[in-house]
Amino acid sequence: MKHKATITAAAAGRRKPKRQRISLSASGEEPKRAHPTMEEILGLYKPRKKPVTLRLDADVLDWFKKPGHGYQTRINRALRKVMREEKKELGE
């Protein structure tokens, strides 16, 4: 004989209500900030990182890896330095 599962009123009251999806933005526009952020005040800039595949000469990669952990950061800093110097030359 099969038993039918019955839910008592007390058990039904313990169920979690379904979550509703709530939009966090009032409109499609970006919110306007009245004041600059602390990063802007202090001149700190942390750009978004993007994963890339990059082929480097073995000796160049070995040179960046030689000091140990953090070689990707060192490569990024070297590239940023070159970028800034070229921007200065071009007047950007």
pLDDT of 65 higher than 70: yes
Q: Count the domains in the chain.
A: 1
What does the alpha-carbon distance between residue 15 and residue 11 come to, in Å, rounded to a whole number?
A: 7
What does the alpha-carbon distance between residue 70 and residue 64 come to, in Å, rounded to a whole number?
A: 9
Report field, pTM of the whole predicted structure over 0.75: no
Q: Considering the domain boundaries, does residue 74 fall inside one?
A: yes
Contacts of 44 (CB under 8 A, 6+ apart): 38
Q: Considering the domain boundaries, does residue 48 fall inside one?
A: no
Q: Considering the domain boundaries, does residue 84 fall inside one?
A: yes
Give the ranges where 1-92 is alpha helix by DSSP (H).
9-13, 38-42, 58-65, 71-90
Q: Considering the domain boundaries, does residue 47 fall inside one?
A: no
Q: Considering the domain boundaries, does residue 29 fall inside one?
A: no
Q: Considering the domain boundaries, does residue 16 fall inside one?
A: no
Asked if 39 and 46 count as a contact pair (C-beta separation under 8 A), the reply is yes
Domain limits for position 86: 56-92
Span 9-60, pLDDT tens digits: 555 566 666 676 666 655 556 556 677 776 677 777 778 889 999 999 999 9
Q: Is 68 helix (H, G, I), strand (E, B) or coil?
A: coil
